Amino acid sequence: NDVPPLRMVLYGEGGTGKSRVIQTITEAFAARGVSHMLMKAAYTGVAASLVDGKTTH
């Protein structure tokens, strides 16, 4: 099954709910047993640690 990857960028000022959106997406993947298909990344180490992701370089 060659499904192309879906890439999403989430922008917004502090307090707009970005982390909540990421948490909801993470929970949806987990509920379907496909957590291994989700990769989260952020530009800074602090941001990446907040979403249990990796930094982009």
HSE-up of residue 18 (Cα within 13 Å, Cβ side): 15
Model pLDDT, residue 32: 97
Comparing 56 with 7, the larger pLDDT belongs to 7
Model pLDDT, residue 41: 86
pLDDT in tens, 13-45: 989 999 899 999 999 999 999 999 998 988 888
Model pLDDT, residue 29: 95
For CA atoms 15, 19, 23, 29, the dihedral sign is positive
pLDDT at 57 over 80: no
* Residue among 18, 13, 38, 19 at smallest CA distance from 28: 38
